[in-house]
Structures are given as structure tokens and as C-alpha cells.
Structure 1
Amino acid sequence: MTESPAHTALWPAPTAPGAVDATVTVPGSKSVTNRGLVLAALSAEPGWLRRPLRSRDTLLMAQALRTMGVGIDETVSSSSAPSGAGGGEAWRIIPAGLRGPATVDVGNAGTVMRFLPPVAALADGPIRFDGDPRSYERPLGGVIDGLRALGARIDDDHRGALPMTVHGSGGLDGGRVEIDASSSSQFVSALLLSAPRFNQGVEVRHVGDTLPSMPHIRMTVDMLRIAGAQVDTPEAGGEPNVWRVTPGALLGRDLTVEPDLSNAQPFLAAALVTGGRVTIPDWPGRTTQPGDALREIFTEMGGSCELTEQGLTFTGSGRIHGIDIDLSEVGELTPGIAAVAALADSESVLRGVAHLRLHETDRLAALTKEINGLGGDVTETADGLRIRPRPLHGGVFHTYDDHRMATAGAILGLAVEGVEVENVGTTAKTLPDFPEMWTDMLSPATAAARRA
């Protein structure tokens, strides 16, 4: 098969001319946007989603809900965004009777392929799910098995993966279910998000190895409660690894989406790598986003940060230290941390992220191959990476259609001349306009001219 120009194009990653000093407004959170869309679609009344992320993953989610009958009107007004947000996009979500037949394109979005089958089980009629070739390889068995145990009928030819068809019957009994979510916390979130609409609600019990990415489950629970759902959790004194959602109507809400803190990572890394300073406006004082852990992680690696009402300002010290850290709760941050660690003054060990082998690509193998291809010394461990800093040289940094691989390559390019990132356009999955944002950060004059 001939590759498209978008996949073969090489982006010369800019080398930093000196210490960066920039303010970077990061678009809204993908995780919050897609959870907000699902909850609004299942609500008993219309709601608003303000300052949503507009990216491939979120547009796939919105379009999928539209194919099942949900109304989503997109508007732009100066009053729809918080102060300093930069832009005023808002989506009005109008719930309707979910219906099929319909076909959902999940792309390679984990949230779409996992959050929407439970929604489809509530529809009248069949809903077919299909997507990119890589989506066929990503784990989905926990959602499929869980839905079957709760009364849904699903045709997947016994693959436990896409493509598949959910035969919606207009409702779902719900009840108790055991699933192994050790490969993705999204299995738990998927069942919880639709649970208020199940006749008996749901009791989800995780059985298996350590559950990764717990902050994302806490995000799901918080957003369910904001929408009026009653949720019992392990943190609230319940049984370990058990979540219960009571059946009931969800309320239409007016929700403003936080900046995507994980997408702020490459810009904070730029301050660390160059010994400069970067401010991210509207950084929340309290959040369930895994990206908030960057404040502590990057401080330990050699920087400092200050959180004010205006946002987060991160300052690099001019030195980067290695780190030994368990990233099981914040695995999506691993590519950016690995890139910074490859430029550090001592060895790093990143642990607890074996599940990254099942993400957009096998991120552990990809990071090892690409950093070593630039002269690095990275080895895979059973559950992570060991990174021994070495002098790096230029070369092609492949992305494997993975947005976080692309931003990792850009981070390395700050300090290494001649790095060319293949298919940087894959960042549109969650961070549209990344190349322009990166260039503007490195050249404030360019950014000012663009705004003018």
C-alpha cells in the first residue's frame, strides 16, 4: 500500500535558539470533552459544553452521537468562554431518542470505541462500530464481555475487538458485572458513564492486575456526580475496585472544559529543556486530569513552578535530572517524560506502564526504537523503560500515527539539531495546530504577527 503524503512528510523539529519565554494557551481537555459529550447526550434535558476541544477524537465522538440521533449545535460567541480562554466556541447538546441503524467511525480513539458501545446498547436498532486498522488491535474485550453480562447483544465474531455491531434494544437491564480492566481504565469508565440509564444501574467490579490510569476513573466519577448521578466508589469507603451507580435521570449542565493538561506537557518540557519559562493560562487549582502530575514530576527533574489565578508558570533551571518513577496512574505522560529523560544528566527508570503496549501504538517499543535511532540508550523492562542519557544526533523520528510520539520528537528536537518528525500531523488527534503553537512558543515575534 502506498503511503499518503501526510504520513511520509517530515517536519524539521525546530532547535531552540535559547531559553524559551512564552505563554501558551492550551486547548480544552479531550478526556473532559468526550465524557461531557456522552453525559450530555444521555441527559434528560439539553446542556452546554463550553470551550470544548476540537480535534479528531472529539469530532469523531460528536459525529458518532449525531449518527445515533443526538443534536449537537456548534456556536461561537464572546460570552461562551471563560476570561483569558481565547476563543468562544460552545456546543449545545440536545438529547433525543437514540436510534439505529447507524455506523460509528471510531478512528483510533479509545474513548469513542469504548464509551459508545454502552450508549449503543440503549438505542433502538443496530449500531455498527468500525475504525482505523490500528483500532482492530486495541483491547475492547472488557467492554464487550461486560455489556453481554449486563444483557446486551453484540456481534464481534468472537474477536473481542472491532469491527462489531451492538444490537440496541432501547434499554439495558444492568446490574452486577466483573471485568478485567488492567489493560485500560476506559473499560470501567465506559460502563459507568451510561449506567444511570440502565434499569438497575450498575455495579462494576475490577478483577485482574493493577488498574492503570486511576485519575481518569476519578474524572468519570466526578463528572457523573456533576450531572446528578449517585456513585459509590472505593475512595468513599466502598469496596476496593468496586464502583456502583444508581439508576436515575442525568441533568443537563453548563460545563466549561478545562485546558488539556497532558497536552501542556511538551510546552512545559520546553521550559525544562531550554532553562526557560512557560506559562499555561487557566491551569485549574483542583482537577482530576492526570496531566496535573507534571507539576511534581518536572519539578523533580530540575524545574520549579508557581500556580496563580492566571495559570501555571513553569521555569527550568538549565539542568535536567533523571528520575525513577511509577507512572501507572499517568501513563499517557510517558512519551514526553522519556524524551526529557533522554536529555538528562543521569539515568531514569519509568515503571508501571506495561499497558502502554496497547495504546495508539506500542509506545514502549516505539520510544525505544526512535530514541535509540538518534543515538540514545533506551531498553524496555517488563513494565516500562530504562533510559541512559547519551549524546544524541539528528535523524528521522517516526510517530506510528501516535500524537504523543510526535510531541516527544519535537521535545528532543529542541536540543538536538536535525531531528525530523514523520507525520507531525497526527497531533491533530488531540492537539490541533501543534506545529504552529510550537513555532510561536519559540518565536514570540512570529506569534505576535500571527495574532495581528
Structure 2
Amino acid sequence: MPNLTAVRPLEPWTAPTATDPVASTVRLPGSKSLTARALVLSAVADGPSTLRHPLRARDTELMAAGLRAMGTDVSTVDDERWLVRPRPLRGPAHLDVGLSGTVMRFLPPIAGLADGPVTVDGDPHARLRPLGPLVGALRSIGVRIDAAETGGLPLTVRGAGEVRGGEVVIDASASSQFVSGLLLGAARFTHGIVVRHDGPPVPSAPHLRMTVQMLRAAGATVDDATPDEWAVEPGRLSARDWEIEPDLSGAVPFFAAALVTGGAVTLHGWPHRSLQPVDTLRELLARMGAEVSLGTDSLTVRGTGAVHGIDADLSDVSELTPVLAALAALADAPSRLRGVAHIRGHETDRLAALARELNGLGADVTDTPDGLEITPRPLRGATFRTYADHRMAHAAAVIGLAVPGIELDDVACTSKTMPEFPALWSTMVTGGDGRG
């Protein structure tokens, strides 16, 4: 495997400006969230599984490489069909999580099932991302872990081939991934698990529902009837075919392009019933001035010639914050985006970064304790720093549709979840090849 965390040169890129309404049908890669969960569930299943139309990107490659390092046979040769054959999990192994919160929170519980030590580390900024509550929870159910003084990376899981499991109390207000990580491997724990959240509300509730639904699809018995409590009984997980739907978060900048330019963008291959929070997205875009329609196998967003400001709680869909902030900076009225204090612990402090970069373009943005207050002002072209954060790059591209001269300092960070982004974006806007 190549060293996926090797230092890479920054790739400046001038975001294309739209001269006409966009009119495009796009096919996007599979969901990162679905691909990651399917990989983990397949690695602890009772036989071979298949992922159809998975996402091939840095985060999912790191997830596959981590499982492979512990002995799982993961074949990713075919872009459209990944095969996962479970094998006894073992150490010694080293897991490289890059900058991925998903990988750093989903793999340590699985490493507890390995026979032997498993070290976990990643990019320098990954050591700053919240992990302590998960480490504490794993210790309380019998997993031996040596962690940094901060409670996070780098860490060593001293796997004993089994995890006792049982009841655990955790504050998951910094990330729903703490709960998902504990649940995904819990059917293999000797006593399963009961996770109780104690603290401020858990963000990104749709991702927790996705975890529960996928566990049940694999045959697990899961009880989530009590608020802030999840129980998984011990048992076998069934091998199966996983159909990975297109990535909704990755589609948002393309939908935003329809809104900004007064055009229309159709995402092809969208399922009529989705595990992702499509209803919330449809409501938000409609409030900002879009017309959203769901077809038999597609989702279409049409701009109406105006972008409206909103007051919205984004706690369930915090990944959308950067692109919605970009739209708000181009809107016809002020916006308040709230409920997303936890995204300060993402790839970067997204609230501080968005306020800094949008203000640098001429906007009036206030960074609040749990979100952003945005008053539109005339914007000007300038360099937009991405902070190695793919969602920041998406926001800059959206601004560039309406503001000439927006130069991203690093477009290559989009490879984290969508390596094709620059080419897809330029093709949609200008018919170019994305090389800027």
C-alpha cells in the first residue's frame, strides 16, 4: 500500500465562474458513511460480503487498509465491486487513519477483537481530533489501550482476541461516531453492548440511525427505543451484498450550483428510499430558494433566481455547514447557522475557518459559540485557504460560481472523499477538465 499520509504539495486552483445557469446531470461516487460502515460490518461478518458502487477515496482506502492490516481480506481492485472476506483479526498491526474521524473512531473497537497489539496514528492534525471519550468507553468494557496524554492518538490497542462488552456510559456530544464505533463491532463482543449517552445532545443523529439500520440489515439485534441509549445483543453478523448509494454530502455543492446560477442539477442513481438525511437537505435547500424534486432514481435541484437567508439548526446535518455558509454569503438576507459547535473538532475548526475566509472575501461573518451569523456583503476575489479540509474546498468552489478570482490554495484535499471533484465541477460549470 502507498503511504497515504505522505506530505503532498498543495495544488492551487482557480474556481470557475459561471456565465450561464448550469444544466447538468451528475453521477457521484458512493457515500463515504455507507462505505465505511459496510467495510467494518463485512470484516466481522460470518462470510464474504460485497460492496457495490463503493466510494474510492482517501478515507475509505484508509479504512480498507486498516482492516487489511489486521488480517481481513479486502479486495478493492474493481472500482464498482469491493470484496471483503473476514479472517481472524490479529496483531501486531499499524493502522494509519490519515485525517479521518470515521477511521480513527471505527477501527479501535475492532482492534480490540484482534489477537495482538494494534497501533493507531494519523496525520498531525488527527492527534487534535476528539477521541478520549471512546478510549475511556473501550477501557470500561475490558479493552487495554495505551493512549497519548490527551486521551487520543497515537494509541496502542492491546487486543486479546475478544472484548468483554457490557454497559458503558459516554459523552458523545463531540461526535456521534463515538457511539457508532462502539456499536459496529458490538455483536462480536462477549456480552454485546449497552451504550448510554450522558451529556449535551449527540450531533448528526441521522448517522446514528444509519448505523442502527445497517446493523439490523446484517442480522444484529439492536434496541434503540430508549432515547440516548443503544443496545446490541451478541451474535453473528450475516455476510451480504451492500448497495452503496451516492454521497449526499458530496452532492450538496453541485445542488448549490443550481441555486447560485438559477440552473438545474440532477443527481442520477439516487434511491427512492435513502439511509441519508435527504428530507432535511430538501427542506433546507427549499428554504434557501430552490425547487427540489425526487424522481424514481434521481434527485433534482432547480434554482429560482434568488438565494434566501435562513435561520437553521444544522446539528443533524453538520457536514452541510460549509456549503450552506457559502450560499448564505451570497444570499439576499442575513443567515444564522447554529447547533454545530462540534465541527470545531473536524478536519479543522470549521467555524473559525469559515468566518476567517469568508470575511477575507468581504462578507460580514461572526463566529458564534455554536455556529455562524452571516450578513451578505459584496464579495471580491482572493485566495481561499482550505486547511486540508475537503468541505472548505467545496464552499470556496460555490463562492467562485458568482465571484471571479476565487483561488483555492489546495484543491487536492477534496481527494479525501471525492478525488474527481475538480474535474466534475469544471465540467459542470464550463465544460473544462478541472485542472484550473
TM range (shorter): over 0.9
Q: Please list, as runs of the form range in 1=range in 2, the aligned pairs for 1:19-418 lying within 5 A after superposition.
A: 19-76=21-78, 89-233=80-224, 238-290=225-277, 292-418=279-405
In structure 2, relative to structure 1, the CA distance for the partners of 1:404 and 1:250 (3 Å cut) is: same
Separation in 2, partners of 1:74, 1:185: 27
> Deviations 1:246-278 (Å, cap 9, x if unpaired)?
000000011110000110000000000000000
Q: How big is the shift at 1:5?
A: 6.7
SS of residue paired to 1:264: helix
Give the Cα separation in 1 of the matches to 2:277 and 2:152: 27
Instruction: Give me the whole-angstrom Cα distance separating, in 2, the residues matched to 1:124 and 1:260.
Output: 34
User: C-alpha distance in 2, partners of 1:429/1:33?
Assistant: 13
Q: Detail structure 1 runs of 4+ shifted over 4 Å in the superposition.
A: none
Q: Which deviates further from its counterpart, 294-303 or 56-65?
A: 294-303
Which residue of the partner structure matches residue 3 of structure 2?
Answer: none
Contact conserved, 1:325 with 1:351, CA < 8 A, in 2? yes
Q: Is the 8 A contact 1:377 1:389 kept in 2?
A: yes
The residue matched to 1:6 in structure 2 has which SS? coil
Shift in Å, 1:17? 1.4
Q: What are the Cα deviations for residues 102-159 of structure 1, in whole angstroms up to 9, with x where unaligned?
A: 0000000111100000000000000000100010000001110010000000001442
Q: Is the contact between residue 291 and residue 330 of structure 1 (CA under 8 Å) also seen in structure 2?
A: no
Residues 303-336 of structure 1: per-residue CA shift (max 9 Å, x gap): 1011111301110001000000000111110000
Cα deviation, residue 89, structure 1: 1.3
In 2, Cα distance between equivalents of 1:195 and 1:357: 29
Alignment partner of 1:6 is 2:9: yes
Output the CA distance in 2 between the equivalents of 1:199 and 1:4: 41
Distance 1:370 1:291, change over 3 A: farther
**Map of 1:85 onto structure 2:** none
Paired residues of 2:18 and 2:430 also in contact (CA < 8 A): no
Q: Secondary structure at the match of 2:414?
A: helix
CA distance in structure 1 between the aligned counterparts of 2:363 and 2:44, rounded to whole angstroms: 48
Residue 4 of structure 1: how far off its partner (Å): 6.5
Aligned residue pairs: how many? 430
Equivalent residue of 1:417, what SS? coil
Shift of 1:38: 0.2
* Gaps in structure 2 of 5+ consecutive residues: 1-5
**Equivalent pair of 2:272/2:297 in contact (CA under 8 Å):** no
Query: Could you list the per-position Cα deviations for residues 327-371 of structure 1 after superposition, in whole angstroms to 9, with x for gaps in the alignment?
Result: 011111000000000000000000100001111100000000000
Identity of aligned residues (%): 57
The answer (yes or no) to whether the contact 2:191–2:233 under 8 Å persists in 1 is yes
What secondary structure, in the 3-state scheme, does the structure 1 residue paired with 2:158 have?
A: strand
Q: Which runs of 5+ in 1 are unaligned?
A: 77-87, 448-452
Give the Cα–Cα distance (whole angstroms) in 2 for the partners of residues 214 and 287 of structure 1: 15
Cα deviation, residue 292, structure 1: 4.9
CA contact (8 A) 1:340 1:412 kept: yes
Q: Secondary structure in 1 aligned to 2:107?
A: helix
Normalised TM-score (structure 1): 0.93
* Cα separation, partners in 2 of 1:5 and 1:132, compared to 1, 3 Å: closer
CA RMSD after TM alignment = 1.6
Q: Structure 2 length normalisation: TM-score? A: 0.96
CA distance in structure 1 between the aligned counterparts of 2:365 and 2:271, rounded to whole angstroms: 34
**Partner letter of residue 409 of structure 1?**
A
Contact 2:16 2:430 in 1 (8 A): no
Distance 1:277 1:6 in 2: 35
Q: What is the Cα deviation at residue 391 of structure 1? A: 0.3
Partners of 1:64 and 1:142 in 2: how far apart? 21
2:425 matched residue in structure 1: 438
